Amino acid sequence: MSLFFAVLVSGCHSSPPQNKLHRIKNEGILRVLTRVDPTTYYKSPEGFSGMEYDLVQLFAKRLDVKVEFITPNTFDDILRQIVRDKADIAAAGITITEQRKKNMRFAPSYQEVTEQLLYHATNSPPKELSDVNNGIFEVVKNTSHVETLNSLKIETPELNWLTNEEVDTNGLIYLLNAGLIDYTLSDSNQIELIHRYYPNVEVAFDISEPQQLAWALNISDDSSLYNEVKEFFVEIKKNHTLDRLIDRYYGHINRLGDFENCKFREHIKSRLPKFQTLFEEAAQKHQLDWRMLAAIGYQESHWQTEAISATGVRGLMQLTQDTAEEVGVENRNNARQSIMGGTQYFKDSIAQISDQIPEPDRTWFALAAYNVGLGHLEDARILTKQQRGNPDKWLDVKKRLPLLRQERWYKKTRLGFARGDEPVTYVEKIRSYYDLIVWLTDVNNPLKENAMQERPEPVENKALAIDSPLF
């Protein structure tokens, strides 16, 4: 009798089976499949970065768990492992296709792309897809690109291509730029982000209708994690966090034209070596990134010590006489003094930005203040708040800065008229120059093992910069 009672009691105290969401929270680990790519996940000068990386960290913060990133060797491995439930989420810039929906479950879309045909700039631009038969046309195995080509081959039977099992799309774009292949395919967001790094690559035309990118999950009767992911994307779309994240990675990348890009590359070789040591010295003194200082210097003067503007600013960092006196510069045409003085002024600009504004917005605000002055920047922030935008977010404020040119708006501000469009252009060009300097001064061969392919250990979200409202 006592044994029977004990069995009954033990049965009453047995725990119900956990769903997937409870298991993740109890274990404290979210396992995420991703790939190393500028559009998804990579190691930047500030640490690990990428749009998928940031999205995942925001979601992990919501769950109060750490993240374990898993980077399989191929894109095909990512799809295979999520289908087999080897991880919780696949966040790797995955295109939703009808074929894939049979094998995995997709979260709400976060970005729209098209598939584009790329060609080497020395080749004649292809007028139709079948023109790729005149050269070497490679795509990555088991990607949505292959699915699209198989569909197109029904109407264009003569269409032929090779599938590459060893490199990803970024690797094929590298090969295309080097002239080792003639054509490849890329999603529009990927080539948009890295086109500036590959001057020999051109876009021919779209080969698909707009397609959606989304996270993929294993198909299961347990919808607990899927429902939480769905709510997450609904929330970040509603509060514009997703808009700000897209702007962070894509908002500045088209600011430089092809001519500016080429001239900048020439000047990196011919001019930057004369000043790089000075930028590094100034950066070390003020705990800044020398490449950001170099980008500011290029935007100001194209790295010319004798530069002078119509308004009287001089030198490599284009200091006004008042600013030069303020930071202790006696000779604005002296490269060392100019760089040291300009760095001090930029550091002071950062210090004047409210501590409640997190990075990277704080840096963008400091750059805008360097260009237009803190007072006009504050006027734009006030206008932003009055128009129900977020005065602590660069995406919101950069939309209001140009209003300082219009009388109906600037007459309501403390300092009045300003050429508010100029600091917007100024910030976005510096961001573009900075990205290119990082790319051209680091090892960026995607076919080799490098620091970009490192994987972080699981980390607590409260140790990340995004603990503040990053976006």
- Classified as helix, coil or strand, 310 is coil
In sequence order, what are the residues at sequence separation of 6 or more whose Cβ sits closer than 8 angstroms to the Cβ of residue 388?
none
Q: What is the DSSP letter of 320?
A: -
Separation of alpha carbons 416 and 458, rounded Å: 49
- Which of the following is catalytic: 300, 330, 422, 460? 300
CA of residue 138 relative to chain centroid, distance: 26
Separation of alpha carbons 263 and 171, rounded Å: 25
Burial of 79 (0-12, 13-18, 19+ CB in 10 A): buried
Q: Which two tokens stand for residue 222?
A: 């347990």
Burial of 243 (0-12, 13-18, 19+ CB in 10 A): middle
Separation of alpha carbons 291 and 295, rounded Å: 6
Separation of alpha carbons 277 and 49, rounded Å: 27
Amino acid in the structure at residue 360: P
Q: Shortest CA distance to 61 belongs to which of 468, 469, 467, 350? A: 467
Q: Is-catalytic flag, 422? A: no
Burial code (b: 16+ CB inside 10 Å, e: under 16) for 162-179 equals: eebeebbbbbbbbbbbee
Q: What is the DSSP letter of 16?
A: P
Residues labelled as active-site residues: 300
